[in-house]
DNA sequence: CGCTTTTGACCCGCGC
DNA sequence: GCGCGGGTCAAAAGCG
């Protein structure tokens, strides 16, 4: 069961971290993205219209609805003037999100104070004034409740839309006939989401020479389709960007079992790290393009860093599916902002690092060729950190469909699958009270809630132990690593270092 | 004998 | 243009 829940938690937490919070509380670039979601109901035909329509709760619960109550017209006018000022300000700054406006204008006490001043200036009886203030206070409380309800509705709708968006993101590459080519680094484009295409190219890989390898791995074939190059796609329409998911795991074991069979094809000494970096290729299926790098952290040699790249073109065993879904989910979350500019990515990372308690180490690496997200599992379960490394790709057009393992392998996957919404431990709706409680600290609240959830921590611990805890040569036969020479590990690695990169 | 690992060489991108 | 570093290849060696 942990293998099912872990990806869900990762998926949803990343969803919150990457998509919701920045859209709501970050700069205007992210506001633009959220606005697109809320106003583009046609993007997903199956979305329930009422759940995604743009809502202006000011129009439904504005002070004008209470113009016959005890508050004066001046008060309402002041309130409206204040609100309009807010709108104008946001419009000038290009922020189209009403949520922001709502957050700003929730401070209705200003209106109350204004009313009090107005009535006092009119020389009314203090008791009458007190009564008016009380009634005004009640009215404002009622209005506040309405606003909360609307916010709740908006948040739920956004969550639903967010989840459906990822379904669309997963299904989109499958349906796309196009392949995106990176004009600068053709060798990097070795991953194609379409399993059939992947098989096709990898079959050619078997006998090609190294010089031809780059072509068979997607470059030349992709370039033969100039109609769909990245340069010709608007940034908003570029489906997904290559990403890397790294997992930092502290383990005394010499290797980490991730459920797949790997064959070592190279080893290099990486600069700045005395530990060698090992290169592995998935051998569970002929031509599987998935590769991973394993290296021990230079700072802490008890920490394994594993990076996964590529997309399995074959069904995965349960153990592998868990990790694949986890990394895929993380990558999907990371790439959900693939259309964003480099600035957005940079700002996002900065935002996450400052907003997400567990992502205090979020950094940007100029050397990384593509966005990288790191799942830091080196801390205790309650502090399981997901460090976000969002790296602007070196080449802006380097995009291609995100190959999600779930889509390619056809196994019992979670990502983008209805099963995702059936997860029981912590459904998105369960977070709504948390989300609306303190909107200004949504991410912190949700992160803390998830991290403190005993089910989550237990599931996380179980999953990690299932992944890491298999000692060398101790496979019970249920582990698909048993037949791999790679998993027995890189003899050069005295301890286990694991990093997963996925795209 | 077949498979895997090792390891030096090669290719490529990037920065200077 | 050159050097550096990352990534990959492939022949040789090791192992069961």
Cα distance between residue A398 and residue A387, in whole Å: 23
What is the pLDDT, as a whole number, of residue A343?
Answer: 40
pLDDT in tens, chain A (503 residues): 333 333 334 444 443 333 333 333 333 333 333 333 333 333 333 333 333 333 333 333 333 333 334 333 333 433 433 433 333 334 334 333 333 333 333 333 333 333 344 444 455 577 888 888 888 889 888 888 888 888 878 777 766 776 666 556 555 443 333 333 333 333 333 333 333 333 333 333 333 333 333 334 333 333 333 333 333 333 333 333 456 778 888 876 656 777 788 889 999 888 888 888 999 988 888 878 888 899 888 888 888 888 888 778 888 877 777 777 766 776 666 665 543 333 443 344 333 333 333 333 333 343 455 666 777 777 654 444 444 444 443 333 333 323 333 333 333 232 222 222 222 323 333 333 333 333 333 333 334 444 444 444 444 444 444 444 333 333 333 333 333 333 333 333 333 333 344 33
Which segments within A303-399 are labelled E, that is strand? 303-309, 372-376, 385-389
Measured in angstroms, what separates residue A153's CA from nucleotide C2's C1'? 61
Within 7 Å of a protein beta carbon, the nucleotides of strand C are 4-10
Residue A332, phi then psi, degrees to nearest 5: -65, -40
What is the pLDDT, as a whole number, of residue A125?
Answer: 73
Strand C close to A268 by CB, under 7 A = yes
What is the pLDDT, as a whole number, of residue A250?
Answer: 80
DSSP states of A260-277: S-EEEEEEEEPTT-SSEE
What is the pLDDT, as a whole number, of residue A369?
Answer: 57
Residue A254, phi then psi, degrees to nearest 5: -70, -15
What is the pLDDT, as a whole number, of residue A317?
Answer: 77
What is the pLDDT, as a whole number, of residue A486?
Answer: 35
Cα distance between residue A425 and residue A428, in whole Å: 10
In this complex, the nucleotide whose C1' atom is nearest to the CA atom of residue A485 is B4
What is the pLDDT, as a whole number, of residue A312?
Answer: 80
Measuring CA to CA, which residue among A361, A362, A455 is closest to residue A8? A455
Measured in angstroms, what separates residue A277's CA from nucleotide C15's C1'? 23
Measured in angstroms, what separates residue A258's CA from nucleotide C5's C1'? 29
Domains annotated for chain A, with CATH where assigned, are 244-335+359-379 (2.20.25.80)
Residue with CA nearest B4 C1'? Answer: A485
C-alpha separations of A226 from A173, A192, A198, A443 in Å: 17, 16, 19, 42
Q: What b/e sequence results for A289-328 when a residue is b if at least 16 CB atoms lie within 10 Å of its CB, and e otherwise?
A: bbbbbbbbbeeeeebbbbbbbbbbbbbbbebbbbbbbbbb
What is the pLDDT, as a whole number, of residue A149?
Answer: 85
Residue with CA nearest C15 C1'? Answer: A485
Q: Which residue has the tokens 């709740």?
A: A152
């Amino acid at each position: 069961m942990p293998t099912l829940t872990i990806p869900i938690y990762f998926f949803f937490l990343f969803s919150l971290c990457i998509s919701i919070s920045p859209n709501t509380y970050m700069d205007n670039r992210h506001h633009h993205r959220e606005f697109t979601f809320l106003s583009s109901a046609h993007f997903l035909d199956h979305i329930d219209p009422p759940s995604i329509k743009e809502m202006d709760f000011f129009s439904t619960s504005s002070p004008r609805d209470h113009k016959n109550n005890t508050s004066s017209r001046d008060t309402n006018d002041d309130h409206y003037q204040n609100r309009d000022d807010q709108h104008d300000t946001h419009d000038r700054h290009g922020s189209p999100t009403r949520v922001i406006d709502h957050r700003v204008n929730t401070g209705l006490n200003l209106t109350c104070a204004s009313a009090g001043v107005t009535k006092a200036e009119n020389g009314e009886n203090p008791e009458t004034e007190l009564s008016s203030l009380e009634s005004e206070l009640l009215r404002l409380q009622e209005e506040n409740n309405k606003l909360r309800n609307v916010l709740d509705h908006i948040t739920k709708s956004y969550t639903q839309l967010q989840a459906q968006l990822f379904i669309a993101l997963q299904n989109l590459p499958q349906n796309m006939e196009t392949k995106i080519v990176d004009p600068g680094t053709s060798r990097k484009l070795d991953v194609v989401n379409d399993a059939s295409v992947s098989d096709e190219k990898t079959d050619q890989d078997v006998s090609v020479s190294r010089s031809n390898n780059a072509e068979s791995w997607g470059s030349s074939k992709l370039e033969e389709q100039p109609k769909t190059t990245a340069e010709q796609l608007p940034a908003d329409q570029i489906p997904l960007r290559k990403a890397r998911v790294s997992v930092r795991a502290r383990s005394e074991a010499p290797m980490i079992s991730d459920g797949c069979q790997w064959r070592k094809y190279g080893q290099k000494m990486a600069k700045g790290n005395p530990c060698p970096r090992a290169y592995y290729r998935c051998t569970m299926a002929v031509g599987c393009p998935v590769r991973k790098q394993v290296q021990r952290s230079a700072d802490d040699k008890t920490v394994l860093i594993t990076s996964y790249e590529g997309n399995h073109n074959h069904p995965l065993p349960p153990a592998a599916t868990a990790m694949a879904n986890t990394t895929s989910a993380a990558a999907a979350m990371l790439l959900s902002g693939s259309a964003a500019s480099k600035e957005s990515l940079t700002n996002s990372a900065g935002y996450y690092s400052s907003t997400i308690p567990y992502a205090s180490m979020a950094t940007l690496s100029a050397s990384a060729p593509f966005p990288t997200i790191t799942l830091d599992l080196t801390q205790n379960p309650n502090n399981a950190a997901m460090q976000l490394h969002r790296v602007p790709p070196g080449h802006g057009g380097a995009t291609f469909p995100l190959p999600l393992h779930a889509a390619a392998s056809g196994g019992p996957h979670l990502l983008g699958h209805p099963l995702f919404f059936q997860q029981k431990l912590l459904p998105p709706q369960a977070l709504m009270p948390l989300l609306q409680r303190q909107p200004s600290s949504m991410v912190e609240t949700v992160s803390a809630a998830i991290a403190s959830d005993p089910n989550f921590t237990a599931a996380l611990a179980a999953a990690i132990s299932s992944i890491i805890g298999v000692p060398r040569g101790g496979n019970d036969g249920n582990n698909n690593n048993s037949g791999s020479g790679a998993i027995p590990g890189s003899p050069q690695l005295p301890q286990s270092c694991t990093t997963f990169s996925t795209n």
